[in-house]
Chains A and B, each alone.
Chain A
């Protein structure tokens, strides 16, 4: 009898383990994509359920804005549409995750990659939003923002903000070095760097890790100072970097690495570059207005730091001022597509954009001026963009992902003069040409 019980128990256990293993792998498991799925209650009858994967979680500066807008959306559309939020911490992890989901045809219904260009990689899975965009929506958004989200006349992204970037400088340190105003030419810029250096101040915050964001912004701005450079910096997915203006700009970056930046710039990430600027060890950093909030954060900077900071256009009156990739839709059924379009329309409407600029400093992409309470430095950045002579787009939105990665591994060699500017440009060209 004992034997029979033992045998039955063993078989039952084996069955449970086997069944458990199978159900754990089934796609209907919670968080099918392997990410945390934060749904609300179970969907009600007639309610369309859509999934939205986001990196606006954890320490993301957009977290507060997202929760605010999601709550507002649920109030207005909660009875019709249920948004299941899948949280993925970190922009790069988010992009990588989307690529994996794309390759297995399991993209969430709505994607927002924080400015990263996924359209050119995933265009075949993204929904053409043109039929869902009415005249009012279309006319409310700046044309250049639609442009960057469109391919062959079809709209694949709903814009939420513009990419507006200049550089910040420390007025106190400039004064100490005897500099009266930001440079209007690159020649003058380097003269200012010499003055800062002579005063014992490290002029520039730079980095090489990740995409070498701060450094690459400088690079793009130098490239964009001429007409053909400006054109290059507005070209999507360029494949040839062996251009004279590009090589010259790389030479200037090499000079900056050699003479005007801190010892931790090589291999350093954005955080190192920002940390040096916050602690007044460096006088200049290139970055967007979303950084302004940090100037008032006494956990990061000393009281009154924001008053010392000024913002300027890059020499040659160049500003990053371009549309930014917005929300993409990859829903498979018409019902979900409609629901997804309603969701992205809400998340990009005037109220959402107004909240976005107030909370995160992201510049709205609306045609009309938004009446919002923002930091003076943000307003000044917008003004600089509106009056700049040349307007360029940023490398992260335009260049192939592997080129951006190549930049970060080649910068250390360039900075230590192990490769020339020509070789750097050649490496980027080779990386770009690996793409279709």
Chain B
């Protein structure tokens, strides 16, 4: 009787979240999925076209291919390098040297600044005329440097990437939490066996926080499937389409071309990419298994 009551309580307490989830995510997602098979444009154009949007997107739209390519590259870079940097920093901070908390806070600063402010900061840092980077290079090289970092096709992609790749404060926090949850006696046993700090990092700490690392990779990689503001506010996907990603292309297709069906096709591609991303990261990190 008591367990039946408990079940009802669980259902009752889950209900608000379930209803909100359905209204805010599930229903819109279904609408996005269904309308991705429609030609839906401004002026009342709305009729089914089957797989035409998907076919056009993958065979006749080089801009969509470019945006998918950029999105995938950024997702991989973020899932690997961003998490690697964050993990290394977390392993260093986990030694709890004097002032480690200050460093932890400093690493978090880029994560708490709004994207709009961050974009303006980066536009100024990389400005061709008065930017910090060019001023620094000019003073070192002793000649005026006027490189247009964001808009030179040779440097645009890397400059945009630099806006998020190095700032892994969130990963540091997540990995640190994982590291601090490892029982101390494991380290003590390892120390007695003569293990060095480096060996303990590689052979004990990292394997034991594998699920945490998996979570960090999921967060980092999927953040690139949602990245919009920083690109929109700096390069707007240019020059040409060199820094265009799928969310920005979706936005442009929807709001500049008023081609909602085609934009929703991109939405579906993004959702599927996200699900696949999470699935493979789960598999790679064996997130459902535990070592502890």
Chain A residues near B (Cβ < 8 Å): 10-11, 14, 17-18, 21-22, 25, 96, 99-100, 102-103, 121-124, 208-209, 262-264, 266-267, 400-402, 404-405, 408-410, 412-413, 416, 418-419, 434-436
16 more A-B residue pairs beyond the given contacts A263-B146, A405-B252, A419-B240, with a C-beta to C-beta distance below 8 A: A10-B9, A11-B12, A14-B13, A21-B16, A96-B255, A99-B42, A102-B42, A103-B260, A123-B43, A264-B129, A267-B128, A267-B235, A405-B256, A412-B148, A412-B239, A436-B45
Which residues of B are interface residues toward A (Cβ below 8 A)? Answer: 9, 12-13, 15-16, 19-20, 23-24, 41-45, 123, 127-130, 146, 148, 150-153, 235-241, 252, 254-260
- B255 in contact with A409 (CB, 8 Å): no
Q: Which residues of A contact B239 (CB under 8 A)?
A: 409-410, 412-413, 416, 418
With known contacts A17-B16, A266-B128, A409-B236, A124–B44 Cβ distance under 8 A: yes
| Closest B residue to A267 using CB positions | B151
B259 and A434 contact, CB distance less than 8 A: yes
Q: How far is the CA of A419 from the CA of B254 in the complex (A)?
A: 27
Shortest beta-carbon distance from B5 to chain A in Å: 9
Docked complex Cα distance between A412 and B238 (Å): 8
CA distance A374 to B33 in the complex (A): 55
- What is the bound-complex CA distance between A124 and B258, given in angstroms? 14
Q: Which 4 A-B pairs have the closest CB atoms?
A: A409-B238, A412-B239, A264-B129, A402-B256
- The answer on a CB contact under 8 Å between A409 and B237 is yes
Most central of A400, A412, A434 by chain B CB within 10 Å: A412
Contact A413 to B240, CB < 8 A, known contacts A25-B23, A99-B255:
yes
Which B residues are in CB contact (< 8 Å) with A99? 42, 254-255, 258
A25 and B150 CA atoms in complex are apart in Å by 40
Secondary structure call for the B interface:
loop
* Distance A208 CA – B150 CA, assembled complex (angstroms): 12
| Nearest B-chain residue to A210, judged by Cβ | B236
With a cutoff of 8 Å between Cβ atoms, the chain A residues found around residue B148 in the complex are: 263, 266-267, 412, 416
Shortest CB–CB separation between residue A81 and chain B, in angstroms?
Answer: 29
In the complex formed, the residue of A with least CB distance to B238 is A409
The contact sample of 11 A-B pairs, CB cut-off 8 A, is A21-B19, A123-B43, A209-B236, A263-B128, A266-B148, A401-B258, A410-B240, A416-B148, A416-B152, A435-B258, A436-B41
Residues of A within 8 A of B45 (CB): 436
* Contact A262–B129 (Cβ < 8 Å): yes
Query: What are the residues of chain B within 8 A of A11 when measuring CB–CB?
Result: 12
**Least Cβ–Cβ distance between B107 and chain A, in angstroms:** 29
| CA gap between A428 and B44 in the complex, in Å | 25
Q: Which residues of B contact A121 (CB under 8 A)?
A: 42-43, 258
Provide the bound-state CA to CA distance between A143 and B46, in Å.
35
| Residues of chain A lying within 8 A (CB to CB) of residue B241 | 409
Q: A263-B148, A413-B153 are in contact. Are A408 and B255 (CB under 8 A)?
A: no
Contacts of B257 in A (CB 8 A): 400-402, 434-435
Distance (Å) between the CB of B111 and the closest chain A CB? 25
A14 & B16 in contact (Cβ 8 Å cutoff): yes
Chain B residue at minimum C-beta to C-beta distance from A262: B129
- Given A14-B12, A264-B128: A122 touches B42 (CB 8 Å cut-off): yes
Q: Which of A21, A413, A416 is the one whose CB lies under 8 Å from B20?
A: A21
Contact across chains for A18 and B19 when beta carbons are under 8 A apart: yes
A436 touches B43 (CB 8 A): yes
Residues of A within 8 A of B19 (CB): 18, 21-22
Q: Which residue of A lies closest to B43 (CB)?
A: A124
B66 to chain A, nearest CB (A): 12
Distance in Å: Cβ of B36 to nearest Cβ of chain A = 14
Shortest CB distance A206–B (Å)? 13
Q: Judge whether B41 and A402 touch: CB under 8 Å.
A: no
Least Cβ distance of B287 to chain A in Å?
30
Chain B residues with CB below 8 A from A410, complex form: 238-240
Which residue from chain A places its CB closest to the CB of B14 in the assembled complex? A14
- Considering the chains assembled together, what is the distance between the CA atoms of A373 and B114 in angstroms? 43
Other-chain contact of A408, B15, B236, B260 (Cβ < 8 Å) = B236
B16 & A18 in contact (Cβ 8 Å cutoff): yes
Question: How far is the CB of B63 from the nearest CB of chain A, in Å?
Answer: 9
- With A264-B130, A401-B256 as given contacts, are A208 and B43 in contact (CB-CB < 8 Å)? no
CB distance from A380 to the nearest CB of B (A): 32
The answer to whether A408 touches B153 (Cβ under 8 A) is no
Please give, as numbers and ranges, the residues of chain B lying within 8 Å of A103 by CB-CB distance. Answer: 42, 258, 260
